[in-house]
Amino acid sequence: MAVNVEELKRYYRRMWLIRRFEEESARAYAQGKIGGFLHLYIGQEAIAVGGAAALTPDDHVITTYRDHGHALALGMSAKAAMAELYGKETGCSKGFGGSMHMFDAEHHFLGGHGIVGGHLALAAGVAFKFKYTGEPHVCLGYLGEGATNIGGFHEALSLASIWKLPAVFIVENNEYSMGTPLERTLPVRDITLKASGYGMYSDRFEANDVFEVRDRLKKACDHARTKGPALIEILTYRFRGHSMSDPGKYRTPEEVELRKKKDPVRVARQLLVDKKVPAAELDAVDQSVEDEVRDAVQFAEDSPPPSMELLYKLNYAPSPEGLFADAARSRTVHGNIVGGE
Look at residue 53 in the predicted model and tell me its pLDDT: 98
Residue 324 has pLDDT above 50, yes or no: yes
Numbers of helices and strands, H then E, in the chain: 12, 8
- Measured CA to CA, the distance from residue 52 to residue 277 in angstroms comes to 24
CB contact at 8 A, 39 and 242: yes
3-state class of 61 per DSSP?
A: strand
Whether 54 has a pLDDT exceeding 70, the answer reads yes
Per-residue pLDDT of 123-134, as tens digits, reads: 999 999 999 999
Identify the pLDDT of residue 340. 36
1 pLDDT more than 80: no
Residue 272: the pLDDT is 96
Q: What is the pLDDT of residue 144?
A: 95
Q: What is the pLDDT of residue 319?
A: 59
Conformational region of residue 276, where left means phi above 0, alpha means psi within -120 to 50, and beta covers everything else: left
Closest CA to 55 of 109, 117, 129: 109
pLDDT tens, residue by residue, 231-272: 999 999 999 989 998 888 899 999 999 999 999 999 999 999
Strand partners, 38: none
3-state SS string over 108-142?
CEEEEECCCCCCHHHHHHHHHHHHHHCCCCCEEEE
Give the residue range(s) of CATH 3.40.50.970 domains in the chain: 5-306
Say if residues 250 and 53 touch (Cβ distance below 8 Å): no
- Phi, psi values for residue 37, rounded to 5°: -100, 155
User: Angle at the Cα of 231 (from 54 to 186), degrees rounded to 5?
Assistant: 130
CA distance 12 to 60: 23
Residue 94: the pLDDT is 95
**CA 211 to CA 227: how far, in whole Å?**
24
Mean pLDDT of 304-319: 82
- Name which of 211, 203, 204 is nearest 264 in CA terms: 211
Distance CA 335, CA 212 (A): 61
Q: What is the DSSP string of 74-115?
A: TT--HHHHHHHHTT-TTSTTTTSS-TT---BGGGTEEEEESS
Q: What angle do CA 114, 229, 70 make, to 5 degrees?
A: 40
Question: By C-alpha distance, which of 170, 202, 146, 196 is closest to 54?
Answer: 170
CATH number at 5-306: 3.40.50.970
Q: 258: helix, coil or strand?
A: helix
The pLDDT confidence band at residue 332, using thresholds 50, 70 and 90, is: very low
CB of 34 closer than 8 Å to CB of 28: yes
Position 315 scores a pLDDT of 78
pLDDT, one tens digit per residue, over 145-202 is 999 999 999 999 999 999 999 999 999 999 888 888 888 888 888 999 999 999 999 9
3-state SS of 147-212 is: HHHCHHHHHHHHHHHHCCCCEEEEEEECCEECCEEHHHCCCCCCHHHHHHHHCCEEEEEECCCHHH
| Residue 325 banded pLDDT, cuts 50, 70, 90 | low
Residue 334 pLDDT level (bands cut at 50, 70, 90)? very low
pLDDT at residue 103, rounded to an integer: 97
With a pLDDT cut of 90, the percent of the chain lying above it is: 82
**Given pLDDT bands bounded at 50, 70 and 90, which one contains residue 333?**
very low
Residue 143 pLDDT exceeds 60:
yes
User: What angle in degrees, to the nearest 10, is found between the helix axes of 264-274 and 5-30?
Assistant: 140
The mean pLDDT value of the chain amounts to: 92
List all residues 6 or more positions away from 282 whose beta carbon is below 8 Å from its beta carbon: 269, 272, 273
pTM metric for this prediction: 0.90
**Residue 229 near residue 162, CB atoms below 8 Å:** no
The Cα angle at residue 279 between residues 275 and 284, in degrees rounded to 5 = 115
**60: enclosing H helix or E strand:** strand 60-64
Whether 335 has a pLDDT exceeding 80, the answer reads no
pLDDT at position 337 is 37
